[in-house]
Amino acid sequence: MICDIHNVNYVMKLSQLDLNLFVVFDTIYAERNLTRAAEMLSVTQPAVSNALARLRAALGDPLFIRTGDGMAPTPYAESIAADVSEALQRLAASAQRAQAFDPARSNRVFRLSMTDAFDTLVLPKLFADLATSAPGIGLRSFRLPRADIPAALARGTLDIAAEVALPDAAGLIRRPLPPEPHVCGLRPGHPAARAPLTMERYLALDHIHVSGRQRGSGAVDIALRAVGLRRRIRVRLQHYLAVPALVMVSDLAVSLPESWARALGLTVLPLPFDVPPMQTWLYRHARSDGDAGVLWLFDRMAGATGAESQR
């Protein structure tokens, strides 16, 4: 009986806590870093630290231990993390269902993770659309590591992602966007652009390789390796935005999706070998089926790419 009374008192104590403290807990657990958690929550780091201190005092556990890599959850934090995340998800879903979504009047801020190509080429079209149809809607775009996207969509710290195929898409709803053929991009006036690009002439060029990863091959190199060939990579970049600064002042070549090459003002030549087109997908979690706002934006983002609506 004493144990039951203690349990009741504990539950009553939890029920009196500010729900925002558990939002902070869930975000710290996801980010493992107080600074990133503060950025995700749009608050200051001292505010996050203060919320964590209050929750530590209420639950009687440190919850997170500072390490060289950030904040590591304690065993107790690990034991409650899934329940906290699920409870917050259910509350958010209930709140969304209880409110009719009117894009013309909504001030909701949507959180998006997108490839740099989508961010640069599609986001301006999307925002131009929203400026007239949903002037109060806000967008927060940040690039999550590909492996972290499914969990972020499941937790609700991310609403929609535009990304290449994810390794683990369980529980996710995805829609294919128009595929992008790969081309060779050169500066205007490049000597190699004066004649058709043969395999021999392509391999004679010095190349830029663009990848968000520190190492590993891309689609172009995999296609070349399949026929026993390799190109000479002189520069490796993390994103395409740095490409023009190098290509326009050199004879470097870059193989990239065609829309990127044209947007960057490069001379476009067909590749002399077959490379699978770049396939990007829009992702949302199945839990967002009842969220009219996410469903609406999902369609708008697809429409900005030229993909047909499936609703």
The pLDDT tens digits for 161-220 are 999 888 878 889 999 999 999 999 999 999 999 999 999 999 999 999 988 776 767 899
**According to the model, what pLDDT value does residue 144 have?**
87
- Considering the segment(s) 2-98 as one domain, its CATH architecture is Orthogonal Bundle (1.10)
Cβ–Cβ contacts within 10 Å for residue 259, how many?
Answer: 18
Q: Spell out the domain ranges in the chain.
A: 2-98, 109-178+280-305, 182-270
Percent of the chain with pLDDT over 90: 49
Domain 182-270 has CATH 3.30.450.40: no
Residue range 99-112: mean pLDDT, rounded: 87
**According to the model, what pLDDT value does residue 97 have?**
55
Dist. CA 17–CA 24, nearest whole Å = 12
Residue 16 has pLDDT above 70, yes or no: no
Question: How is domain 109-178+280-305 classified at the CATH fold level?
Answer: D-Maltodextrin-Binding Protein; domain 2 (3.40.190)
- pLDDT bracket for residue 93 (50, 70, 90): low
Cβ–Cβ contacts within 10 Å for residue 127, how many?
Answer: 13
Chain centre to alpha carbon of residue 257: 19
Q: What rounded mean pLDDT belongs to the chain?
A: 86
Dist. CA 283–CA 176, nearest whole Å = 9
The answer for 248, left when phi > 0, alpha when psi is -120 to 50, beta otherwise, is alpha
- pLDDT bracket for residue 96 (50, 70, 90): low
Please list, in sequence order, all residues whose beta carbon lies within 8 angstroms of the beta carbon of residue 254, skipping any fewer than 6 positions away: 184, 185, 207, 208, 210, 243, 247, 261, 266
Q: Is-same-fold flag (2-98; 109-178+280-305)? A: no
Report the predicted TM-score, pTM, of the whole model to 2 decimal places.
0.69
- Which token pair is 59? 């639950």
Higher per-residue confidence, 84 vs 113: 113
- pLDDT bracket for residue 11 (50, 70, 90): very low
